[in-house]
Chains A and B, each alone.
Chain A
C-alpha cells in the first residue's frame, strides 16, 4: 500500500513538483526570516558576546549593554572581595567622537580593557598584534570600524587619528561580531580610555568577573548583588536583557514576527490547497482502492505518508536552500544570518503541522468518499 501511495505521489511529476515547491519556499521563507531575525538579535548584544567574559557587574538599574551608567572605581575591589569571585577587572565603555586626518568625524564606542590582562579582548586579530595596544597612544579597531571609517585605504595599521583631541594610533585590527548599531569599536587600555574621555566624576563602566571553578555562576552573581548592591549578570542573562530591551523598544520584533507568521500562513495555505487538490484529483484512484476493500484507515495512512514524504522533502530542500543563502551572504559577517537548531526544529514542527492539517482535510474528504465514484 505504501508503494502505491508513493507511486501516486511521484507519478504526477508536475503536481509533485508544485507541492514540493510550495513547501520548500514556505520553509525557506520561515528559516531565512527567522535566521535574519535571530542574527539581528545576536548583533544587538554583540557588545556582550564580543567581550566574552562570564560575569558583568554594573549599576543595578541598567537596561542594556550600550546604556552605560558609571560606577565608583572601588567597585572592582568590592567585587574582588566577594567570596567565589576568581578575578575581577575594570572595563570602560563609552561613546566618543573620532576625527580622522581627512577631517571626517565618526562616532565610536571606546572600550577600555584592563591593561595588564587585556581581559575582554577579541579572540581573533586580522592584522597586527592585540598586545601592541600597550604601546603609547595605541588603539585597536575592529574590522567594522575600518569599513565604516573609510575602508582599508584610509584606516590601516599605523593610521593616526584624534580621540577628543588626543592622539590615537592604530596598531591592530580585530575580528569581532558586527553590532546592531554598527558603531565602530576602538579598543584601548582602561587607563588610556580614561585619559581620552572628557572629565566625569565616575569613569568605571563595568566590572568584568569570573566565578571560581566549582561555584555556580548564578550563585556568584547573586552574592555580588547581595554584598555590593551592584547589579551582577551572567553574560547570557545580560545578552538576553539587551535582546529584551531591543524587542521592547524597537519595531524589529513585530516586523519579523509578522513576516514569519505570513510565511507560515502562506506556506500552510499553498501546501494545504495543493495537497487538497492533489487528493481531489486522485479521488478516482482512492475510490478504486476503497472499492477493492481498503479501509478508510488504510487510505488515511496513505495520505499521511504522502503528506509527510513531500513535507519532509520540502523541509530538507528548504532548509538546504536557506542555509546556502546564509552561508554565502553571511560568511563575511556583513549580514545578520544565524541559524540555530531550535529554529530548524520549530520549522520542522510547523511544517509537520501544515502537512497534518492539509492531510486531515483530504482524509475527511476520503472518509466521505463513496467507492461508487469510480464508476461515475
Chain B
C-alpha cells in the first residue's frame, strides 16, 4: 500500500490516536465524593421534613430566692440530680435564728407559770372542798366559801389565759421556724441542676434577670419539630415520625406524637448571634422519644421526618396560571 509509505499518514494516525487517548482520559465525569457522614434520608414514601431541637419535657425552672439575702451555703453543683424538696442553697438566717432563741426562751417561763397556776388551782380546789365538807355554819361562813370559790374560778381563768399565751408564744416560735425554713431554698420538683449562677457569699435578690439556678428535667426529653407554615396542612395529628442527630443520620430515633402547638410562631434561625433573626413562620410539633443507646442532650438539633398521610390533603402546589378566559367581544 502506497499510503502506508507516507510519513505524514503515520503522523496523522498518531495524532488521531493521541487525541482519542486524551479525550478518553479527560472528559470522564468524576463521581461525587461520598459524604463524610450519611445525609438524612426519609424512611417514608411520603414525608414532611422538619428541623427539630431536643428539649426537656417540662420547661426549665428558674429558681429564685423568697427574699433578698446573703447566700451562705450552696448544697448543689451543676449536673446534680435533685429530688423534690431537696435543699438547693441557704440564705443567711442568723437574724431569724436569734429571734428563734428568744421565742424559744419565752416558752418555758409560761409553762412554769401554768404549772404554778395548776398548784394554785389545786390548793384552792382543796380549800373549797374542805370548806364545803364542813356543814357547821358557824365554822365556815358563807362569805369564806364564796370567796374561795371565786378565787378558784379566777385561778382557772388565769390558767386558760396562760395557756393561750403559751399557744401564742409557740405560734410565734413556729412562725420564726417557718420563716427560717423558708431561707433554705428547695427544689420544687425532681430534676437536674443545669446552671448555677451564684456562689456562697453573694447577695441574692428576687426578680433578677439571670436565674440563680436553672433546674430542668433531662431524664425525659422531647423533640420540638419546626414545620414550615407552607407545609403545615400536610401534617396530620398522630402522624409518626423519626428523628436523627446531625452527623448520625443513619441512626433513626422513632418518635411518638404528643401534640401540635396550636400557635404558629416565627422561626428563629439559630446563628449564635446576639439577636436572632426571624426568617419565616413555623408550626411546632412535639414528639416524645425513648432514650437511644447513644447520648443525646437537651438543645441538640435533629432532622425530623414526619410521615405524610396518604389520604391527607394534596401537596399545596402553586396554582398554575390558568389562561384567562377571553371575554366575549362586545
Contacts and interface: CB of A to CB of B under 8 A. Distances in A.
Contacts of A195: 271-273
Interface in A23-71: 52-54
Given A195-B272, A203-B269, A314 B12 contact: yes
A320 B36 contact: no
A319 B19 contact: yes
A20 B5 CA distance: 16
Contact of A78 (B22, B231, B246, B278): B231
A80 B42 contact: yes
Contacts of B282: 74
Given A78-B231, A194-B271, A316-B12, A117 B37 contact: yes
Contact of B22 (A10, A52, A114, A326): A326
Contacts of B51: 74, 76-77
Contacts of B267: 73-74
Interface stretch (A152-160, A268-276, A289-297, A336-344): A336-344
A83 B280 contact: no
A248 interface: no
B8 A117 contact: no
A324 B18 contact: yes
A89 B40 CA distance: 9
Interface in B179-235: 226-228, 230-231, 234
A122 interface: yes
Interface residues of A, number: 68
Given A77-B51, A123-B30, A201-B277, A316 B22 contact: no
Given A74-B226, A202-B279, A117 B39 contact: yes
Interface residues of B, number: 63
B38 A117 contact: yes
A202 B23 CA distance: 43
A87 B39 contact: yes
Contact of B228 (A74, A123, A327): A74
Contact of A116 (B6, B19, B36): B36
A53 B271 CA distance: 26
Contact of A122 (B33, B48, B249): B33
Contacts of A81: 47-49, 231, 234, 308
A318 interface: yes
A231 B203 CA distance: 59
B311 interface: no
B12 to A, nearest CB: 3
Interface in B238-259: 246-247, 249
B305 interface: yes
A140 to B, nearest CB: 13
A129 to B, nearest CB: 11
B50 A339 contact: no
Contact of B12 (A10, A17, A315): A315
A229 B317 CA distance: 7
B9 A313 contact: yes
Most buried by B among A52, A117, A321: A117
Contacts of A191: 271
A339 B51 CA distance: 45
B318 interface: yes
B277 A3 contact: no
A345 B231 CA distance: 50
A226 interface: yes
Contacts of B230: 74, 78, 228
A96 interface: no
A72 B318 contact: no
A229 B318 contact: yes
Contacts of A123: 30-33
A354 B46 CA distance: 59
B2 A10 contact: yes
Interface string A104-124: 000000000011111101110
A80 B47 contact: yes
Contact of B14 (A121, A227, A320, A339): A320
Nearest to B271: A194
A285 interface: no
A131 to B, nearest CB: 6
Contacts of B3: 6, 309
Interface in B1-59: 2-3, 5-6, 8-9, 11-16, 18-19, 22-23, 26-27, 30-33, 35-42, 45-51
B12 A313 contact: yes
Contact of A87 (B14, B30, B41, B269): B41
Interface string A160-196: 0000000000000000000000000000000100110
Contacts of B42: 80, 85
B37 A80 contact: no
Contacts of B272: 195
Contact of B32 (A20, A53, A316): A53
Given A20-B8, A73-B280, 15 more contacts: A3-B2, A6-B2, A10-B5, A75-B228, A88-B39, A117-B39, A121-B36, A123-B31, A203-B269, A309-B3, A320-B12, A324-B18, A326-B22, A339-B22, A340-B27
Interface of A: 3, 6-7, 10, 16-17, 20, 52-54, 72-81, 83, 85-89, 114-119, 121-123, 131, 191, 194-195, 199, 201-203, 226-229, 309, 312-324, 326-327, 338-341, 344
20 contacts: A6-B3, A10-B6, A54-B32, A72-B228, A74-B51, A74-B282, A77-B48, A80-B40, A80-B303, A80-B305, A83-B46, A87-B39, A115-B247, A117-B38, A313-B12, A315-B16, A319-B15, A319-B19, A339-B19, A340-B27
Interface of B: 2-3, 5-6, 8-9, 11-16, 18-19, 22-23, 26-27, 30-33, 35-42, 45-51, 226-228, 230-231, 234, 246-247, 249, 267, 269, 271-273, 277-280, 282, 303, 305, 308, 315-318
Closest 8 CB pairs of A and B: A320-B15, A316-B12, A80-B49, A87-B39, A74-B228, A116-B247, A117-B35, A77-B49
